[in-house]
């Protein structure tokens, strides 16, 4: 029986993660590289020359003087939590085999449960939007799925809830 390639992928351990994304500056550098892989491009005029305003963590275009931040237009925008907390939340959510509750996430990140809940839902929504356009390929295995048919009145009260996929 062949091994499941996804199950046996080498993941990133917590120590390796903290070495790579442990500080806010490291997270900002990584986000900058992901947003602008070929270098900064001004969203207003398209020029590539910029200067960094260190005190306010902003990037200013040298041509049009528009100021933007690395987090502008992302799900991190407007958050008071540092990027390192967001990145650690992404790591914890991604590494949890059976998912992670917002209460456990709040304990791990030392933030309020409400903040952890909002953070988790923003991250899950971003993952959903990213994967919405992709179709499954190859051999797909499902447990307890009902394909086709009409949705009938069914059983009332407690019990298994079966949903047909059209």
Interval 32-80: pLDDT, tens: 999 999 999 998 899 999 998 888 889 999 999 999 999 998 999 989 9
Residue 40 burial (C-beta neighbours within 10 Å; 0-12, 13-18, 19+): middle
Q: Is 99 left (phi over 0), alpha (psi -120 to 50) or beta?
A: left
Confidence at 143, pLDDT banded by 50, 70, 90: confident
pLDDT of residue 43: 87
Residue 33 and residue 144: Cα distance in Å, rounded? 42
Q: Of 90, 83, 81, 141, which Cα lies nearest the Cα of 112?
A: 81
Interval 94-140: pLDDT, tens: 888 888 999 999 999 999 999 999 999 999 999 899 888 888 888 88
Tokens of 33: 């590289």
Cβ(40)–Cβ(50) below 8 Å: yes
Query: According to the per-residue pLDDT averaged within each range, which of 1-5, 8-12, 39-43, 82-86 is highest?
Result: 82-86
DSSP string, 10-51: ----HHHHHHHH-SHHHHHHHHHHHH-TTS---TTT----EE
The residue count for the chain: 166
């Amino acid at each position: 029986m062949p091994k499941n390639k996804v199950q046996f992928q080498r993941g990133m351990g917590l120590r390796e993660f903290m070495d790579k994304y442990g500080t806010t500056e490291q997270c900002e550098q990584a986000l900058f590289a992901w947003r602008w892989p070929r270098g900064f491009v001004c969203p207003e005029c398209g020029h590539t020359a910029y200067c960094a305003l260190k005190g306010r963590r902003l990037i200013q275009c040298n041509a049009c003087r528009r100021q933007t931040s690395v987090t502008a237009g992302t799900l991190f925008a407007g958050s008071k939590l540092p990027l390192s907390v967001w990145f650690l939340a992404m790591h914890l959510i991604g590494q949890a085999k059976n998912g992670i509750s917002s209460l456990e996430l709040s304990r791990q990140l030392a933030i309020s449960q409400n903040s952890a809940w909002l953070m988790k839902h923003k991250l899950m929504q971003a993952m959903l939007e990213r994967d919405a356009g992709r179709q499954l390929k190859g051999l797909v295995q499902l447990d307890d799925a009902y394909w086709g048919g009409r949705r009938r009145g069914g059983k009332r009260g407690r019990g298994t809830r079966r949903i047909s996929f059209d």
